[in-house]
Amino acid sequence: MKPFLATLQGTVQKTPPFWFMRQAGRYLPEYRELRAKAGGFLNMVFNPDMAVEVTLQPLRRFNMDAAILFSDILVIPHALNQNVSFTAGEGPKLNPLRCEADLSLLSKDRFDEILEPVYETVRGIRKNMIREKFSDTALIGFAGAPWTVACYMVEGGGSRDFINIKNWIYTDPEGFSKLIDIVVEATICYLKKQIEAGAEAIQIFDSWSGVLDEKQFRRWVIDPTHRITQNLKKTYPDIPIIGFPRGAGPLYRDYVQKTGITAISIDSQIPTEWAVENLQTQQSVQMSIQGNLDPACLLAGGDMLRETAENIMATFSGKPFIFNLGHGIIKETPPEHVEQLVSVIRRGVS
């Protein structure tokens, strides 16, 4: 079995398998060159040949144990007929939804048709991984969690205070729940199609889960994620599902216990010893943990990178563990620093 998939099942590896969030991206010169030719981010996402190429670029350099589909969490609102655009240096822009009445603007009529290029990309990645002899490398499919996707749909892009979506959940929670229901249903469909096309594991990114209080976290993060995992497992009982509720703090524990995920990805603010004690050894079966190097440490490189990576691996030594970052690679990161980290991981802990 591929080391990454075996670890998700609870097998302890001599050296941890690894991959990095945003490993296919702007820190690689070959990515920047291809994006310049594409003429836009979504052009790359919906061009299977380009998306396959971008997915494979980091594997050729660093031979990770897992590849992750090159796409974006906002393809779901795009496929639901919400206008989504990406402007260089500004991030995503969407026409915001601010109340229940705005939900009439969404449509599922062309959902599968719009997303078919993504599924073609998944099939193409699997085919090319075989051709390029990445036989031990697993393929991860992914989606944004309903809460995080809804944040973009309501705020119209990124936000510092999330005041519009918070106003909605506090003043009209039942109306907002209808938006969450739409996104949950769409996410289940999207992930099932990725699995059918060849994804071997799934990661659910909840990048903005940390902006909610405990009660709202349970309703808008835990409950929708549980609905997704339960539905996927009815059809694909053996598919591993990694949850990543970034910024959840101590609520990571409830997330692990109540969502039905297979493995948990932790952000850089979670102490590794706390994660072992509260997320891993508290379970009836030791859960695989993924994480959690600070991307800024990777950006810096040098002795601090080596020492920090070694300390993380030492904490999880003898336990099912996947080395990753606590968030995505920073675009200014020199590829040489990634090479350094890969070398440290492969040496393991003496």
| Catalytic site includes residue 26 | yes
Closest by CA to 220, choosing from 191, 189, 192, 251, is 251
Q: Catalytic residue, from 27, 152, 252, 255: name it.
A: 152
| Catalytic site includes residue 27 | no
**Which CA distances in Å does 160 have to 142, 192, 257, 280?**
25, 32, 29, 32
| Catalytic site includes residue 123 | no
| Catalytic site includes residue 126 | no
Q: Catalytic residue, from 22, 126, 227, 246: name it.
A: 22
Q: Catalytic residue, from 72, 102, 136, 223: name it.
A: 72
Q: Catalytic residue, from 27, 35, 65, 227: name it.
A: 35
| Catalytic site includes residue 152 | yes
Closest by CA to 221, choosing from 292, 135, 229, is 229
**Positions marked catalytic:** 22, 26, 35, 72, 152
